[in-house]
Amino acid sequence: MTRLSRYLLPTERQPPSDAEALSHKLMVRAGLIRQVGSGLWSYLPAGWRSHERTVQIIREELNAIGGQEMLMPVLLPAELWKRSGRYEIDELFKLDDRKGAPMVLAMTHEEVVTSHVAQFVRSYRDLPLTLYHFQTKERDEPRPRAGVLRTREFIMKDSYTFDRDAEGLQISYDAHIDAYDRIFERCGLEFYRVDSDVGMMGGSGAHEYMAPCAAGENEVALAPGYAANVEVASAVASAVPGLPMAGGLPERVSTPGLTTVAEVAGALGVLPGALLKAFPIVVDGGALTLVLVRGDHRVNEFKLRNFLQADFRQASVEEIEAQIGPAGFIGPVGVSIPVLLDESLSTDHAYIAGANQPDAHLTGVVAGRDFPYTRADIRNVEEGDLVGGQAIRIEAAIEVGNIFKLGTRYSEPFAATYLDEQGEQQLVWMGSYGIGPARIMAAAIEQFADEKGISWPRSLAPFDVEIVAVGKPDTPERAAADAVYAGLQAVGLDVLYDDRDLGPGEKFADAELLGCPLRVTVGRRTLESGELEVQVRRGRIAHEGIALDQAGEAVRQLWQTLP
């Protein structure tokens, strides 16, 4: 049923008042989705068609690397999550069944799939194994946002690989890289595969697939041959002009009431980069540590956490004043706690730092000579930093997929083991891999929409072609439109036929809002010229020269040339 007169496609002239992101506005306006609650969305027929096209691309490429599709439940016994140690996660929905047994709603499926594999896999001959499914995920997000970009319930493709050892995992991981590259390519997205944080889960490697666009929640650092999430990105800082070389011993300068880098730099007539920014933290276990970065840099909490191999928190004012000095005037000289020195700080130059006395700073401070330190790369990269001699730029992006080497994180608690050739029991090595089809849709909309609406990549569009019939019902031009409809369907195209009894303006506007890659107009002019009027949605380019009587094949061939 793809006659628009009978199809549920409730388009809106105005976006919902609370929508901010472009994809959110357009998906609602084009009649693809409707909100049910915060972070909860229904897909209307056309939106679901796009979602399912995305799903099918993912399915084909995972099957191509030997993935086996299955289905695991959303509702799970809490026991599984207690065993993996993830029951305490705040985002995990928890509930009781009628007997009072604790249950959870799956936010991902490592626990279930590993418990299955622990049962089935006995021998090295059973490995490797790649399993996947498309299943609803439930996450009690602190802040759902931007339409389908961050929701509390969404469908995810999650796949899991099981191998004998780290080398096997690497092979499975590489196969997923190939499949993912093809998937996002086929989806018509601009995307990057970037290095990403392995987090506290202790995996041995991870990448994210990032689709750059304005609504993105993540930032990626990019340079020729380099792509990384800013959470883990590493680069050479640009030098601070006019930074003095190490010289005489530190001298105290009076800085009454000046507690910020900007204030001190301004008062002393130097660049912010001439200062040491002190960031006191308390590492898990209780040790107070002073983290130093350049005045114009920011501490990167992911990199710091990874370096420490432990969690940490910012020190309280009480802790700072008890063990370091007055807040706003702290520095590394003379303190008795460990100092972490960011790699971008020079040991040959002199910096300005807090004096650990009220209303005073020190100039001429030299790392090593004036205080002991440990080196670490713990700062956020900045636009213009160098990687391999090339300046990086930073772009906002949507995370559309991720791949993660889990290692034995789950095989241990679930005792997923096998017997090797020597009869020795070994742990299975795992990888896990996610893709959010809804985010692919939203990213495609963000990347290619124009002022008229959505402009789908042809692989994701709800329909390949939309026919706009201009003219009254029961006229020769309507009969011609009917014939074109049949002709396009006959060559295998998915066609949406706007046969509504409306003016042409509304139909054109709706067609461009929905954004199918081709729009075919059939009206009196068509009959007069004997030629089909075709508009390529991307760029809104008119395409001429298709004869009405052989429309089907010609339109199909044109469609195949589209992005």
Partner RNA sequence: CGGGGCGUGGCGCAGCCUGGUAGCGCACCUGCUUUGGGAGCAGGGGGUCGGAGGUUCAAAUCCUCUCGCCCCGACCA
Q: Is 21 in the site for RNA (CB under 7 A)?
A: yes
- Under the binding rule (CB under 7 A), the answer on residue 501 touching RNA is yes
Kindly state whether residue 135 participates in binding RNA, applying the rule CB under 7 A: no
| Residue found under tokens 């339109």 | 555
Cα–Cα distance for residue pair 362/279, rounded to 1 Å:
17
Per the listing, tokens 């933290």 go with: 281
Q: In what order do the strands lie in the sheet with 518-522?
A: 495-498, 465-469, 518-522, 531-536, 541-547
Cis-peptide, bond into residue 128, ω within 30° of zero: yes
Q: What's the closest the beta carbon of residue 193 comes to RNA, in angstroms?
A: 17
Q: Can you give the length of the chain in residues?
A: 563
Using a 10 angstrom Cβ sphere, with 0-12 exposed, 13-18 middle and 19 or more buried, the burial of residue 126 is middle
Q: What's the min distance (Å) between Cβ of 346 and RNA?
A: 28
The 381-420 contact track toward RNA, x by CB under 7 A, reads ----------------------------------------
Nearer to RNA, 144 or 273 (CB): 144
**Nearer to RNA (CB atom), residue 217 or residue 553:** 217
Contact 296, 316 (CB under 8 A): no
**Nearest-approach distance from CB 403 to RNA, in angstroms:** 11
Number of chain positions touching RNA (CB under 7 A) = 60
Residues 503-532 that bind RNA (CB under 7 A): 503-506, 508-510, 512-513, 521-526
Q: How many CA within 13 A on the CB side of residue 360?
A: 11
- C-beta of 358: minimal distance to RNA in Å? 28
Quick check: 24 binds RNA (CB under 7 A)?
Answer: yes
Nearest Cα to Cα of residue 188 among 432, 446, 554: 446
The answer to whether residue 471 forms part of the interface with RNA (CB under 7 A) is yes
| Binding piece for RNA, criterion CB under 7 A, among 95-103, 145-153, 276-284, 416-424 | 145-153
Judged by CB, which is closer to RNA: 61, or 197?
197
Q: Which of 111, 195, 208, 301 binds RNA (CB under 7 A)?
A: 301
Residues 6+ apart with CB under 8 A from 36: 42
Q: Pairing between strand 541-547 and 531-536?
A: antiparallel
Write down the least CB distance from residue 80 to RNA, Å. 13
Tokens linked to 252: 């105290």
Which of 38, 123, 260, 309: binder of RNA (CB under 7 A)? 38
Count of C-beta atoms within a 10 Å radius of residue 49 = 19
CB neighbour burial string for 362-385, b if at least 16 within 10 angstroms, e if fewer = bbbbbbeebbebeebbbbbbbeeb
**CA 100 – CA 255 distance, rounded (Å):** 63
Contact pick of 8, 64, 75, 91 for RNA (by CB under 7 A): 91
| Beta pairing partners, 166 | none
Q: Which residue's CB is nearer to RNA, number 362 or number 397?
A: 397
Binding segment (CB under 7 A) for RNA, from list 68-76, 163-171, 195-203, 365-373: 195-203
Site residues for RNA per CB under 7 A? 11-21, 24, 35, 37-40, 86, 89, 91, 107-108, 139, 141-146, 150, 199-201, 217, 301, 434, 452, 470-472, 477, 501-506, 508-510, 512-513, 521-526, 533, 535
